[in-house]
Every structure is written in structure tokens, then in C-alpha cells.
Chain A
Amino acid sequence: MLKIERLYVTVGERLVLSDVNLEIAEGEVHVLFGPNGSGKSSLVMAILGHPSYKVISGRIIFKGIDITEMPTEERIRLGMAATLQHPPKLHGIRLKELLNRISDGRLRDDGLLRLIDKLRINEDLLNRHVNVGFSGGEIKKCELAQAFALNPDLLLFDEPDSGVDIENLELIGRAMSELLVGKSALIITHHGHILRYIKPVRAHIMFKGQIACDGNPEEMLNQISKNGYGWCEKCISMKKS
């Protein structure tokens, strides 16, 4: 589904990703751990083709197509979608109108209505301007609804569980787990709360712009909870030597 090969990315003068390799097969859900500022969000931005994230070498292959130079919207139309960690406010654009346009007028479809219902996105929220005055939980739910409205094959979730209270976490977790059936995904999580509801098949740790290691999600999360990310540095330098 998604294959990233030896990817190097800069933002301005700064190298934010170096030698990133990652492969997610069809129907697989992977999780990406890593400390703040390690490059997790940068990876999502690079996959989406954010204009400030320049790929200086390497390739991103999606469904067998090299999308490294492709405009963002074309990547989306190929079948990917993402939820952003800090989406901007869209004054004057109602959530309802945006969802309707994203889904090509399918807002009244059962599937989408069920999703809106499941996420407890009520009429009041649907009528508000996107992300304007939304709470942390509302932002995440609104991101999820938009991503699923695109009916993608690959989903990228950037911190779907940060800044969310327990009640909303459960809502979001259950909705994600149900909607991810048969789809591929990369879930970025700093503290791993969302993994109470979703069981990825593989985990990766990003550290200083590199994938430091890959492995079993539960084992890795236990390791991180116990030891933090301190040992990643050692690990990377050992690999290098």
C-alpha cells in the first residue's frame, strides 16, 4: 500500500527526516512512536506532500505509484487521508458544508451519518465553523469524520489521542477501530493511549528524524513506558558503527 524508501526531507535549511524506510502492506495498521520533535508529524507532512517539506532524496510509493512529486490533492484522490494534529481554523466554512463537499455530496448517506452519530458530532457542531472555538476532543472528532468521509484505503493519524478526555478517547478509539477494518493505517501516538482500542501489527520508533527500530507494538510500548526513549540514541549510534 505505502512504501517509503531512503527518504530525506528538509524544512527550510533543516533536515527533518533522514534515511526513513517504511512499508505498510494492504490492510495493515502500524503505529509510530517517538519523542516530541523526533519527526513523526514531518513524516505525515512529507507523505501528504506539504509544500514546505522538501524531499531531497528518496521516494514515496503509494499503491505502486511514485507520488514523491505529486500535488497533495492528487495523493488524496488516489485514496489516502490524514487527520492533522493542529488543523487550522476555517472561518465562515461550516463543518456540515465541508463534510458534504469532501464526500461529494454523500453527507446524507447512511455510512457517513452513522459515523457522525458514532462520534457524537451533533447538529450544533455541524453548523459551526471548522475548528473555530472547538475543544480538543471536537477537533479530533472533526478530523476523523473528514478523513473517513474521503473513504480512503490508507489513513494517517497524527496524534488522534492527544488533548482528548477519557470519554472522547473511548468514542474516537471505538470509531477508529470499527472504521479501520480492511484499511491500512499509520497511527502516530506519543503516549499510546489509543492502543487500548486498536491493535496495530507493527510498531516503529522515530528518533531524531530516523526510524530507530521496528517491532511488536505492545513490547515496544512497554519498553518506552519503562525506559523512555533514552536508549534510542545508543541504539542508533550502534547501528551506525
Chain B
Amino acid sequence: MHLDEEELSRALDKPADYGLDLDLSSYITEPKEEVKLEESIVRRAYEVGVDLSRKDSVGSFFQVDHSVLLKAIQKKFEKDVELMTIEEAIEKYDWVEGLMWNLISPYKDKYTAFAAKNRRGGYFIRILEGRRVYIPVQACLLLYSPSITQCIHNLIIAEENSEAHIITGCTHHIKSVKGLHLGMTEIYVRRNAKLSFTMVHKWGPGMDVRPRTGMLVEEGGTMLYNYVLLGEVKSIQSYPMTMLAGSNSRISTNNVIYLSGESNVDLGGGVTIKGPGSKAELLTNSVVTDRAKLVSRGSIVSEAPGTKGHISCRGLILSDKAEISAVPSLTSKNADSELTHEAAIGKIAEEQLFYLRSRGFRLDEAESLLVRGFLDISSMGLPKHIEKMIDSIIEQTMKGF
């Protein structure tokens, strides 16, 4: 899509609809030093579920600040999946630019405009027609230089009848105490394709994160979007938008959130259902502690018959200073659609604690069992070893709780 520079410049002053407003001039866009693939960086990637030494992945992409340190597809999967930088993809295919800024408007707010003006890297992952790969493609985006802004544009295409798992981890290196991650991700799920996309985020108290995500699902396609956010972050505001364009298409988003410290997170998800017989499900399970604040938004608009939509927000508040707000919204423009929502927010229920104590668990054991239960990821449909790895990351984050 052609970008209108003037309109982009105007959008640079537009705050986002939700979340903390950031002063973009307080970040730098050029890293001060060159980054090498060193052990402390590789370890950090591992902590967000990306094991760069893993043999059982289709391929890996690893970008630190603006430098792509690794992008490789295993030879035996070269006929199944394409993996390259977004710049390489633009170079290689004349249709790639046409798919960019198609599902996200660059003029939406200052973050999209800034990312459009300053794009540096991002991955292009394309699962070729009819190809099915059951081990994951993995990608890690890491912030390294202090005060850096990472402006990334990712494009994922699951071509017709294909199937794949993508696992991405986003984090920062301990050296970087302040930083801004602007990750634009556009995902196309073509006819009868199935894509499972799992993102693990682990940040620090000085990090601001403004991802922008747009997804399009065609006829018979299925998109599973899993998001795991753990620990403390300065601020996140995100509102992935999905268009269920084709009939009998499906989106299921599953957020599992554990927030500590002073985190300020505004997390949403919007789905427009245009295809008859399509289904949307937005699930969020969250645990907040310390002084963390979470706004959990969800919106489903149904414009087609025979459709279903459900929003669920379950939140557990572990401290008197922590806060959760649930803001679900349902709009039906068709008599033949079934839209529901449920929200339950509060502290750990006394009845559950008593129940577990009546089975011999001490109070602290009962509490941690229930909190851990809240952060269950088994419904994400992940490959077993990925599920195990993320489980152990959650376990690690929860240590000392």
C-alpha cells in the first residue's frame, strides 16, 4: 500500500484510543553499538520460549534492535515454509507491499505512523499452499540498546490448505532498562488454512510496548492466537483486530497474563464476523498483583448469519493495590447469531481455598495451586514440548509468589 507522507506526519500527533500516551521523542531510533549473537542474548531468547539451539523447529528468526542475527529454514522444510526479512520479501515478490498496511492502518495513531516511517526489519513467514508442518517456526525480537525503539513489520501468510505453528518471543536484554517495542504484524490465513500463533512477552519495568496486529481469515480458515504476558512492564497497549472474511472461518484468541510491579496494561481484541457460519472466541485469564493495572477489552461485531461469538474475561486480583477492568462489547447486526460474554474478577474465592485445605493443602499451597490453575495454557493447542517450555517459563516467573 502506498503511504501518504503528509497523512503519516499528521498521525504522528495522534494518541492511541487507549492506554498511556507516550512521548516518542524520548527514544532513540539508531542503536549506538553493534550487537553480536552472544550467550546472554541467546539465554534471554530462551526465557521467552525461543530455543535457538533447537533442532526440532522448522526455522528460526532472531532480530536484536535492527539487526537480524539469524534467519534460517532447515533444509528439509524449504519446500514448506519461506522465512526471510520483510525487506528481502519486498525485494523478492512484487505483491508483498500490497499486503502491508492492509490490515492495520498506518494512520491509526502515532505508533503506527512512527513504525511506518521508521521501519527496520521484521520477518516474513509464508507457509506454502497445502503444506503442513507440525513443529514450530520460531521468531524472537529483542531490544538491546538503551532507549531504543524497535520498529518492526511482520507479515505472515498461511496459504490455502496449509497448517503451521509459529512461536514468537519478545523481550529485552537486561542492559536495556528503557525501550519501546513497536511491532506491526499482519497475518493472512487463506482458504482452509490453519495457523496457530503463540506470542510470549516478558519485559521489564522500563519497557513500553505498542504492538499492532491485524488478521484476516478466509473461508474455512482457522486462526489460533495465543498471548502469554508475564511479569512487570511499564506499559502495553494492544488491540489485535481480526476480520473473519470467509464463511465457516474461525478465530480463537487466548490471553494468559500475569502482571506484577507497576505494570500498566491495556489489552484488547476486536473481531468483525462477515463470513456466515463463522466463530470467534476471545478468552483472557489474568492474575495481577502488587500495583499492576490491567484493562481487558473485547469486542465482537457479527454481520453474518449462523455465527457465534464469545468473550470471556477471568481475572484474579492478589493485592489491594492491583486493578482489573473488563470491558466486553457485543454487536449483532444479524438475528441469526449467538453472541455471549462472561466476566469474573476478584480475589481468590474463599470456597476454593477451603476446598483445597479440606484436601490437606496448606493455605499458601492452595493459593499457589489456584493461581497456577488460572494461568493454564493447555487449551492453547500447542505442540507438547512448546507447552512444557512455556509452562516452565510461567513456573519460573511465579517463583517466590
Cβ distance B343 to chain A, nearest Cβ, rounded Å: 14
Which residues in chain A, 65-119, are within 8 Å of chain B measured between CB atoms? 71-73, 76-77, 81-82, 84, 87-88, 90-93, 98, 101-102
- Given the contacts A90-B373, A91-B376, A102 and B355 also touching, CB distance less than 8 Å: no
- Given the contacts A88-B351, A90-B352, A91-B314, A82 and B373 also touching, CB distance less than 8 Å: no
Cβ distance B80 to chain A, nearest Cβ, rounded Å: 31
Residues of B contacting A93 in the complex (Cβ-Cβ under 8 angstroms): 369-370, 372-373, 376
Complex: chain A residue closest to B359, CB-CB:
A102
- Given the contacts A90-B370, A91-B374, A92-B373, A48 and B352 also touching, CB distance less than 8 Å: no
- Given the contacts A88-B349, A88-B351, A91-B314, A72 and B374 also touching, CB distance less than 8 Å: no
Q: Does A6 have its Cβ within 8 Å of any Cβ on chain B?
A: no
Interface string of B341-375 (1 = CB under 8 A from A): 00000000111101111111111000001101111
In angstroms, Cα B355 to Cα A93, docked, is 13
Cβ distance B273 to chain A, nearest Cβ, rounded Å: 26
- Given the contacts A91-B373, A93-B370, A82 and B355 also touching, CB distance less than 8 Å: no
Complex: chain A residue closest to B357, CB-CB:
A72
Complex: chain B residue closest to A77, CB-CB:
B360
Complex: chain B residue closest to A99, CB-CB:
B359
CB <8 Å contact, B369 and A73: no
Residues of A contacting B355 in the complex (Cβ-Cβ under 8 angstroms): 84, 87-88, 90
In angstroms, Cα B362 to Cα A24, docked, is 27
In angstroms, Cα B361 to Cα A72, docked, is 9
Residues of A contacting B373 in the complex (Cβ-Cβ under 8 angstroms): 90-93, 129
Interface string of B373-386 (1 = CB under 8 A from A): 11110000000000
CB <8 Å contact, A98 and B376: no
Interface string of A140-183 (1 = CB under 8 A from B): 00000010001000000000000000000000000000000000
Q: Does A51 have its Cβ within 8 Å of any Cβ on chain B?
A: yes
Residues of B contacting A199 in the complex (Cβ-Cβ under 8 angstroms): none
Complex: chain A residue closest to B350, CB-CB:
A51
Residues of A contacting B361 in the complex (Cβ-Cβ under 8 angstroms): 73, 101
B interface, by DSSP: helix, strand, loop or mixed? helix
Residue among A51, A81, A102 making CB contact with B354, cutoff 8 Å: A51
In angstroms, Cα B26 to Cα A85, docked, is 59
CB <8 Å contact, A73 and B370: no
Residues of B contacting A84 in the complex (Cβ-Cβ under 8 angstroms): 355, 358
Residues of B contacting A88 in the complex (Cβ-Cβ under 8 angstroms): 349, 351-352, 355
Cβ distance A124 to chain B, nearest Cβ, rounded Å: 14
Cβ distance A27 to chain B, nearest Cβ, rounded Å: 23
In angstroms, Cα B358 to Cα A147, docked, is 9
In angstroms, Cα B359 to Cα A82, docked, is 8
In angstroms, Cα B350 to Cα A48, docked, is 14
In angstroms, Cα B366 to Cα A72, docked, is 12
Q: Does A120 have its Cβ within 8 Å of any Cβ on chain B?
A: no
Q: Does A234 have its Cβ within 8 Å of any Cβ on chain B?
A: no
CB <8 Å contact, A102 and B360: yes
In angstroms, Cα B349 to Cα A87, docked, is 12
Cβ distance B98 to chain A, nearest Cβ, rounded Å: 43
For B361, B373, B374, which residue has the most chain A Cβ atoms within 10 angstroms?
Answer: B373
Residues of A contacting B360 in the complex (Cβ-Cβ under 8 angstroms): 73, 76-77, 102, 150
With A73-B358, A129-B373 known, 20 other A-B pairs at CB within 8 A are A48-B358, A71-B357, A71-B363, A72-B354, A72-B357, A73-B361, A76-B357, A76-B359, A76-B360, A84-B358, A88-B355, A90-B356, A91-B314, A92-B285, A93-B369, A93-B370, A93-B372, A93-B373, A93-B376, A102-B360
Query: Using a CB–CB distance below 8 Å, which chain A residues touch chain B?
Result: 48, 50-52, 71-73, 76-77, 81-82, 84, 87-88, 90-93, 98, 101-102, 129, 146, 150
Query: Using a CB–CB distance below 8 Å, which chain B residues touch chain A?
Result: 285, 314, 349-352, 354-363, 369-370, 372-376
Interface CB pairs A-B, < 8 A, 20: A48-B354, A71-B357, A72-B354, A72-B358, A76-B357, A81-B359, A87-B355, A88-B351, A88-B352, A90-B352, A90-B370, A91-B314, A92-B376, A93-B369, A93-B370, A93-B372, A98-B359, A101-B369, A102-B359, A146-B359
